[in-house]
Amino acid sequence: MNRRDFINKAGMTAGGLLLSSHARSFGREDKKLGIALVGLGSYATFQLAPALQDSKLCKLTGIVTGTPEKAEKWSAQYNIPKKNIYNYQNFDQIKDNPDIDIVYVVLPNSMHAEYTIRAARAGKHVICEKPMALNVAECKAMIKACDEAKVHLSVGYRLYFEPHHLEMRRLGTQKIHGGVKMIESSLGFSMADPKVWRLNKALGGGGAIMDLGVYCIQGARRTIGELPEAVTAQGFVRDHNVFKGIYEMVMFQMEFPGGAISNSTTTYTSYIDRLYATTGYKWFSLEPSYNGTGASGNSSEGKISFQTNPYQQTRQMDDFADCILNNRKSEASGEEGMTDLKIIEAIKKAADTGKKVKVSY
């Protein structure tokens, strides 16, 4: 077993991770883990690649793209050798490349499951962008594949590592200002171009509730520190020229076992970005909350403000590298991703039927 095999496989079982490994002692300090980005769209281009430049534990060593012009541009910009550039035909050969420890899947939602599973089978650790997949069944298959391959799996939940969001979670779960009774958590922006994949039902899986709903759900459930037991939802389409077969806007309410209720708006029609929690007489909130360029916090007790990295994904990817090096499970695990898909499936069913839907975990 060589050093890389150890990092990839040591201490992992099919059912999960052993936590007793000491991969760090193998001298990884002097070499960063190599990440290959799969899919060079705007998120990879403007967030992930720049974020990797500040990383302590990772570096961008490979790319997977179907566009030769992008391959050439990225190769020059980030000094990526030809041998580390793959396309969607030869992707599986990545298994033989020792420069690549982690595959980061940044493809349209409909391709998350396939490329996560193929990456796992190639022996690579995987970060998959959110939403983790189109549905719960895909999430299960992805988790199983990573377990079987004994690789780590994480979902691209950058806000799990963002200081303002960690503070909201601390204030909520530790009941610093009392127990949370109500949350408003909303995210939306205008997407008027009907050609983008997010508006395509087959590729995106259902519009704003898939892509933006995850943030609203997490803002509420992680601040409260509980999982919703039931949801109601209302789906709207006003512009049938742009929104075909998907909701333009979904509003949804979640009931938490401790008594809190949340209300959310997700939309591809207009701008909104806010997480607000109230405990009765006190409140704490972020606005903007979920966007990648920085949160701003306020509360009944004063401002909430933290110094942050230029790119939120730097912390996220460094944490995942640390998980691999120290063989601990990521907090932004595949199971967390699947939990959100369970909630999203319930919300979609509630919006389609107009009925309250219980969520099973």
Contacts to a copy of itself by CB under 8 A:
181-182, 184, 186, 188, 190, 192, 232, 234, 236, 238-239, 249, 251, 253, 255, 259, 261, 263, 265, 267, 269-272, 274, 276, 278-283, 300, 354-356
Task: Work out how close the CB of 195 gets to a copy of itself at its nearest, in angstroms, rounded to a whole number.
Answer: 18
- Judged by beta carbon, residue 266 or residue 333, the one nearer a copy of itself is 266
- Judged by beta carbon, residue 33 or residue 275, the one nearer a copy of itself is 275
- Judged by beta carbon, residue 253 or residue 312, the one nearer a copy of itself is 253
Please name the amino acid found at residue 357: V
For residue 44, give the DSSP letter: I
Q: Please give the backbone phi and psi of residue 330, each rounded to the nearest 5 degrees, phi first.
A: -65, 140
CA distance 66 to 267: 30
- Judged by beta carbon, residue 102 or residue 224, the one nearer a copy of itself is 224
Task: Work out how close the CB of 299 gets to a copy of itself at its nearest, in angstroms, rounded to a whole number.
Answer: 11
- On whether the CB atoms of residues 245 and 204 are closer than 8 A, the answer is no
Catalytic residue flag (residue 130)? yes
Q: Taking the CA of residue 14 as centre, how many other CA atoms within 13 Å lie in the half-sphere pointing to its CB?
A: 3
- Judged by beta carbon, residue 70 or residue 181, the one nearer a copy of itself is 181
For residue 310, give the 3-state DSSP assignment.
Answer: coil
CA distance 287 to 291: 10
- On whether the CB atoms of residues 253 and 351 are closer than 8 A, the answer is no
In the chain, where do the E strands start and end? 12-13, 16-17, 33-38, 58-64, 85-86, 102-105, 125-128, 153-155, 182-188, 230-236, 249-255, 261-267, 272-278, 283-286, 297-299, 357-358
Beta bridge partners of 266: 187, 250
CA distance 7 to 1: 10
- Judged by beta carbon, residue 72 or residue 239, the one nearer a copy of itself is 239
- Judged by beta carbon, residue 82 or residue 238, the one nearer a copy of itself is 238
Task: Work out how close the CB of 323 gets to a copy of itself at its nearest, in angstroms, rounded to a whole number.
Answer: 37
Task: Work out how close the CB of 128 gets to a copy of itself at its nearest, in angstroms, rounded to a whole number.
Answer: 30
Phi-psi region of 294 (alpha: psi -120 to 50; beta: other; left: phi over 0): left
Closest alpha carbon to 164 in 250, 32, 290: 290
Catalytic residue flag (residue 32)? no
Q: How far is CA 290 from the centre of its chain?
A: 12
Per the residue annotation, which of 86, 215, 247, 268 is the catalytic one?
A: 215
Task: Work out how close the CB of 236 gets to a copy of itself at its nearest, in angstroms, rounded to a whole number.
Answer: 5
Please state, in angstroms and as integers, the Cα–Cα distance from residue 62 to each residue in 94, 109, 312, 328, following that order. 9, 21, 21, 24
Per the residue annotation, which of 130, 157, 276, 290 is the catalytic one?
A: 130
Helices and strands, number each (H, E), in the chain: 12, 16
Task: Work out how close the CB of 168 gets to a copy of itself at its nearest, in angstroms, rounded to a whole number.
Answer: 16
State which H helix or E strand residue 72 sits in: helix 68-78
Task: Work out how close the CB of 130 gets to a copy of itself at its nearest, in angstroms, rounded to a whole number.
Answer: 23
**Active-site residue set:** 130, 215
